[in-house]
Amino acid sequence: MSMIDNTQPAIKVDTYLKSVFPADFLWGAATASYQIEGAAYEDGRGLSIWDQFAATPGKVYQGENGDVAADHYHRMPEDVALMSELGLNAYRFSIAWPRILPQGTGTVNERGLDFYDRLVDLLLARGITPLVTLYHWDLPLALHEQKGWLNRDTACAFADYAEVVTRRLGDRVDWWTTLNEPWCSAYLGYDTGAHAPGIRNKQSSYIAAHHLLLAHGLALSRLRAYTRKSAQLGITLNLTPVYAADDRPETLRAVERADKTSNRWFLDPIFRGNYPEGLFADAGVAPPPIRHDDLNIIATPIDFLGVNNYSRSLIRAQTGESGDDTNRGYEHVAGVADATYTEMGWEVYPQALTDVLVRVHRDYAPRAIAVTENGAAFADQWDGSDHVSDPQRIHYLREHLKALGWARAQGVPVRGYFVWSLLDNFEWAEGYSKRFGIVYVNYPTQRRIIKDSGHWYAAFIAAQRRQQVP
Ligand code: FCB
């Protein structure tokens, strides 16, 4: 397929994007605490499930871990300066719960709060709007030792933690999401075990998901109490539209089932106060322990939905014995002719972003939406100079920004877009082998080099700002 048609940072964007994005649109980049901070044993930080998981042989690529990562904890002012250089007017980062409450509950570690306090002030001084994620997967290990997300008390502990953070930052930060991708926490953490805490039990993943959703709902009133009137409260979900690879009725039924387990599992309780019909039966599990009022709490209205989207799912009903999961009766189709795949093996399919945004708007009508993650890993090469050429990422970003423009043009109230990621970082079970940054990180020296895609994105934002998109 013709992948690369622009290797220069110079910008060319279709005319229709002109004026599709309002002047106050948030153009940002995203990161997460464990993936960039390092300083794992400093300033009173407690351990998280990811410290333990990464230390377990065989769990992370080449036994890598987040002890140093991109050393952002020590280089934070330099990284904020980079954001300015790129012209970002927004930055999404997550707070490490174990820095704030090293044991998960109880004693507050002020030095942890001080770090994020300084970060917020530096961002605001440069006109960059902070968007805070309270939980991007680094659960305090002490809570995991009491069963983590399988324990309902963890939801209450999360609400207490949310209050501690908003009491400190709520006077300056307006954009908050409770959880990042609870689907990943529940499914990868408790069903496949590919992520921390590495449990492999389908039933457990449905229990964990319920407690994660409850944590989100319980935290909302605490966030509301300690933030300004202008605060925008939400949650970030990873949403992947599911498409049928053929038109057999069994494939169409499989598409519905797959949509339920990958998207509606979280969308329905948050926006409709119900789990989708048949969700538990399809998975062959018992319903999680849902107490009276839980679903009302979970459905507490939010101001915006954070959507993370990278690709699509293309599936077909299984015909024979083979396939990736006989329980579900369908399989994912890979190796689509003419398609491009990223280093993660994810198909580049920009239409998915338009489709998922239009669908969420139509079916769930959140008051506003922010695309809180979108981006691509490619095998970037650095030759020691001041440049990193990454034409495939430029192509990816350009096509996805067009797709975003299409969604807005169709009336979807999208208010922000955050590239994943600002920096190359610790990509969970893939360690440092996958680079998602628009800024290259040379790990041995921690030198940062803005990739061509970073320059391209900066030019795109500048052109938007001038409203001079050619
Ligand atoms: C998302 C995660 C983020 C990053 C990207 C590639 O699922 O939220 O931390 O790993 O994928």
Task: Give the binding-site residues of ligand 1, using a 6 Å CB cut-off.
Answer: 32, 35, 180-181, 184, 238, 308, 373, 420, 427-428, 436
Q: Which atom in ligand 1 lies closest to the alpha carbon of residue 35?
A: 9
pLDDT along the chain (470 residues), means of 10: 36 62 96 99 98 98 98 99 98 99 98 99 99 99 99 99 98 99 98 98 98 99 98 99 97 97 98 98 97 98 99 90 59 94 98 98 98 99 97 98 96 98 99 99 98 98 76
Contact 104, 143 (CB under 8 A): yes
The verdict on whether 78 is a catalytic residue reads no
Tokens 């009276």 sit on residue: 292
Buried b (16+ CB within 10 A) or exposed e, 56-76: eeebbeeebbbebbbbbbebb
For residue 194, the cross-strand partners are none
Q: Are strands 330-332 and 313-317 parallel, antiparallel or unpaired?
A: antiparallel
The pLDDT of residue 2? 32
Token pair, residue 332, equals 């994912």
Output the CA 10–ligand 1 centroid distance in Å.
Answer: 28
Terminal CA-CA length for the chain: 26
The pLDDT of residue 360? 98
The pLDDT of residue 320? 61
The pLDDT of residue 42? 98
Report how many helices (DSSP H) and strands (DSSP E) the chain contains, helices first.
17, 13
Distance of CA 234 to the CA centre of its chain: 13
The pLDDT of residue 8? 38
**Distances from the Cα of 283 to the Cα of 252, 327, 332, 357, 413, angstroms:** 17, 8, 17, 26, 33
Output the CA 16–ligand 1 centroid distance in Å.
Answer: 30
Q: How many CB atoms are located within 10 Å of the residue 340 CB?
A: 17
Alpha-carbon span 402 to 357, nearest angstrom: 13
Q: Strand locations in 137-211, DSSP E?
A: 175-180
Per-state percent for the chain, helix, strand, coil, to nearest 5: 40, 15, 45
Token pair, residue 175, equals 């954009």
The pLDDT of residue 16? 58
Residue type, 418: F
Alpha-carbon span 248 to 419, nearest angstrom: 37
The pLDDT of residue 329? 85
Q: Which atom in ligand 1 lies closest to the alpha carbon of residue 427?
A: 10
The pLDDT of residue 3? 34
This prediction has a pTM of 0.95
Residue type, 128: I
Q: Listing from the earlier edge strand, what are the strands of the sheet with 330-332?
A: 242-244, 313-317, 330-332
Helix (H, G, I), strand (E, B) or coil at 301: coil
The verdict on whether 181 is a catalytic residue reads yes
Out of 64, 331, 347, 373, the active site residue is 373
101: left (phi over 0), alpha (psi -120 to 50) or beta: beta
Name, in order, each residue with C-beta under 8 angstroms of 296's C-beta and a sequence gap of 6 or more: 273
**Distances from the Cα of 172 to the Cα of 176, 229, 232, angstroms:** 11, 11, 12
